[in-house]
Amino acid sequence: MVTVRRFRDEDAGVLWALNALPNIGDTADLAVPIPLPALAEPPAEFPDLADVEATFLARGGEFLVVELDGHLAGMGGYRPGTDGTAEVLRVRVHPATRRRGIGRALMGELERRAARAGLTSLHLDTATNQPPAMAFYRALGYREAGREHQAGWTWTLVYYVKELAPSVHLILS
């Protein structure tokens, strides 16, 4: 059973472990065990994950986790800008659960919550060394908005954007 919900502080250690898994390579790797053992320390190279509450939620953003049969299998969030847009960050799906709808459920809920919050578009990036991720975002309706390559990189960063439909609230009488 797949459940998408808001991040809780007790998710942090497993979230950090999920973030540490390779996000490049096979789209499904059944060799990675579920459940993941929690890490004791946040990843130094991703300081926003050290305090999800402060870096996402307190800024008007959102951070969601996806549980599969009670185990953390996906994560991702967004931080709003000042112009009605938001940046999607830290989207990860456990390698053993890829191609099972985890990412689609996560992104769908992030988009719904962003639209309800009045945001007009979501922006994100991935890289050319992650072709499955590029195909995934295109399949969700994200369009390429630019590329960036720097000396020393073996990949090119690819920027995507998706316009959000305004959220409609029905009033029943």
Q: Concatenate the DSSP letters of all residues of 125-144 into one string.
A: EEETT-HHHHHHHHHTT-EE
Tokens of 50: 């050290």
Residue 34 CA neighbour count, 13 Å, CB half: 16
Tokens of 89: 């960050």
Task: Estimate the share of the chain in helix, then strand, then coil, as percent rounded to the nearest 5.
Answer: 30, 30, 40
Please check the confidence at residue 23 and state whether its pLDDT lies above 80: no
The full set of domains in the chain, from first to last, is 2-119 (3.40.630.30)
Please check the confidence at residue 20 and state whether its pLDDT lies above 70: yes
- DSSP letters spanning 51-104: GHHHHTGGGT-EEEEEEETTEEEEEEEEEE-SSSEEEEEEEEE-GGGTTSSHHH
Task: For residue 106, give the nearest of 75, 137, 68, 138 by alpha carbon.
Answer: 75
Mean predicted confidence (pLDDT) in 148-167: 93
Looking at residue 170, its amino acid is L
How high is the pLDDT of residue 28? 67
Please check the confidence at residue 153 and state whether its pLDDT lies above 80: yes
How high is the pLDDT of residue 26? 64
Mean predicted confidence (pLDDT) in 123-142: 96
68 beta partners: 2, 71
| Confidence band, pLDDT 50/70/90 cuts, at residue 34 | confident
How high is the pLDDT of residue 44? 93
